[in-house]
Amino acid sequence: MPHLVTVGISHKTAPVEQREKLALTDANARTLARSLVRHPDIAEAVVLSTCNRTEVYAHALDAGGAEEAICDALVEVGTGMTRSEFDCVRYAHLDDRAVAHLFRVASSLDSMVVGESEIQGQVRQAWERCAEEQSTGVLSDRLFRQALEAGKRIRTETQVAVRPVSVSTVAADLAREAIPDLGGRRGLVLGGGRMAEATARALMERGLGELVVINRTVGTAREIAERLGGMGLGYDCLADELAKADVVVCSTDAPHALISAAQVEVALEDRPARPMVLIDIAVPRDVEPAASGVHGAVLFDIDDLERVVAQHRDAREEHARRAEVIVGEEVERYAAWRSGLAVTPVITSLREMAEAIRQGEIARASDAEIGAEEAERIDRVTRAILNKLLHEPTVRAREAAASIDGMRHVESLRHLFGLGVPDRIPDASSGTVPAEPAGRRGPAD
């Protein structure tokens, strides 16, 4: 059976300066997924890239070769990160540890803000995107479907998200902390994605007086602004709006900074007594880090959110412990399914061999002159004998596959009966696992 290999970096191992070098656009993530499954060691691959992490989940028969290929591919697709720099901040997980890691990610237990709500949608989008690129298969589809189920179960059975916090709400709280009275203040949001809209909404809920949304596509900016009672504009208005804004939130997927330190300095020239709060939650960053040195400017980037997160950790600790128990249960459930998938070809091969022997003996017996009724009776009796003989080994093989050393018993069965079963997994069309979303159906050996 293929191994599950996970390689990546996250907010736990790398600061934003390094994470932004590996932040992937939708197009880059699709290209990376397609290139990975063309590698001879990799059968399936899902690429996940958010503001806090960039990870690859791959199924491969050669785990070591796959890990090395993923590392090389991530460095190649990144911007300015060397292999030695990547090796200093990366992590890698194998098989059950990789499954547990994904389940923790999808459940927000590995997030900067435990209990945040955006990550489940990001995990689903990553899976669906790679399915569209035909880089997923039976194992990936089951794995990511169960990861989302585990996340839903944790949110239902624990109170990890009882006080819903997210990157957007934390960003809005930072703005209110810097400017306690948001009433009568003007906010500027750059970006037209869900994070930008969620942050704009959180600011309005905290009493922000006016809102302007700027996006590359003016129509999108106007749609968001209309839903929130603000005004939507294009990037040609950025300089003017920057000079009027008290709170600036940046959440775009631009590959370079959109607001320079010089622009911030110009915007603050005529308002020495009125500060500007800039909250940059984009990776790569939308605001030049040097803007933090401009007099009157207060700049927060996504790593600064950790300070706010710490205020919520104690209240969530007990719920998180229960959530970790659920993760363990879900990992065991996935392992049992995967083991069952591995033993299926062995059982099928055993039954096919036995049936071939039965049919061969019946054919030899048919050389004698026997009637149709007698032939039917022989067929019925021999089939019943075969089923009874194979019933107990079949049941025990399936039970053994779910145990810690179960695959050794399955290999013994293969060896004792001389079953030449290739190391493969059944196709999704066999009914072993649902086949949505449409992607590659099973890894190539």
Whole-angstrom distance, CA of residue 407 vs CA of residue 1: 10
Q: Which of 309, 282, 311 is nearest to 199 (CA)?
A: 282
Which tops the pLDDT comparison, 145 or 400? Answer: 145
pTM above 0.85, yes or no: no
In 3D space, the residue among 425, 437, 347, 346 whose CA is nearest the CA of residue 139 turns out to be 425
More confident residue, 193 or 58: 58
Q: Confidence band (pLDDT; 50, 70, 90) for 432?
A: very low
Taking 50 as the threshold, does the pLDDT of residue 316 lie above it? yes
Burial class (CB in 10 A: 0-12, 13-18, 19+), 252: buried
As annotated, the residues of the chain forming the CATH 3.40.50.720 domain(s) are 167-305
Question: For 3-164, CATH number?
Answer: 3.30.460.30
Average pLDDT over residues 375-379: 84
Residues in the chain, total: 445
Alpha-carbon gap, residue 64 to 152, rounded angstroms? 33
pLDDT score, position 286: 94
- For 42, the token pair is 């990799």
Q: What is the mean pLDDT of residues 46-70?
A: 95
pLDDT surpasses 90 at 364:
no
327 pLDDT more than 90: yes
Q: Out of 129-143, 215-229, 342-356, which region has the weakest mean confidence (pLDDT)?
A: 342-356
Residue 388: CB atoms within 10 Å: 9
Domain 167-305 sits in CATH at: 3.40.50.720
pLDDT at residue 373 in the model: 81
Q: What is the mean pLDDT of residues 354-383?
A: 80
- Per the prediction, the chain carries an average pLDDT of 85
Whether residue 157 is predicted with pLDDT greater than 60 in this model: the reply is yes
Range 41-64 average pLDDT: 94
Contact 37, 44 (CB under 8 A): yes
Q: Is the pLDDT of residue 439 over 60?
A: no
Neighbours of 435 (CB within 10 A): 16
Residues of the chain with CATH 3.30.460.30: 3-164
For the chain, the C-alpha Rg in angstroms (whole number) is 28
Positions marked catalytic: 51
Give burial (CB, 10 Å; 0-12/13-18/19+) of 178.
middle
pLDDT above 70 covers a percentage of the chain that reads: 86
Question: If we measure between CA atoms, which residue out of 84, 85, 69 comes closest to residue 33?
Answer: 69
**Residues 283 and 276: beta-carbon distance below 8 Å:** no
Interaxial angle between packed helices 372-401 and 305-365, expressed in degrees from 0 to 180 and rounded to the nearest 10: 150
Q: What is the pLDDT of residue 371?
A: 75
Specify the residue for token string 């194998």: 94
Q: Which of 128-132, 377-381, 394-398, 435-439 has the lowest mean pLDDT?
A: 435-439
Look at residue 357 and tell me whether its pLDDT is greater than 90.
no
Give the pLDDT mean for 277-291.
93
Give the per-residue pLDDT at 445: 32
Query: Across residues 157-171, what is the average pLDDT?
Result: 77
pLDDT tens string 102-152: 999 999 999 887 888 889 999 999 999 999 999 999 889 999 999 999 999
SS (H, E, C) 1-27: CCEEEEEEEECCCCCHHHHCCCCCCHH
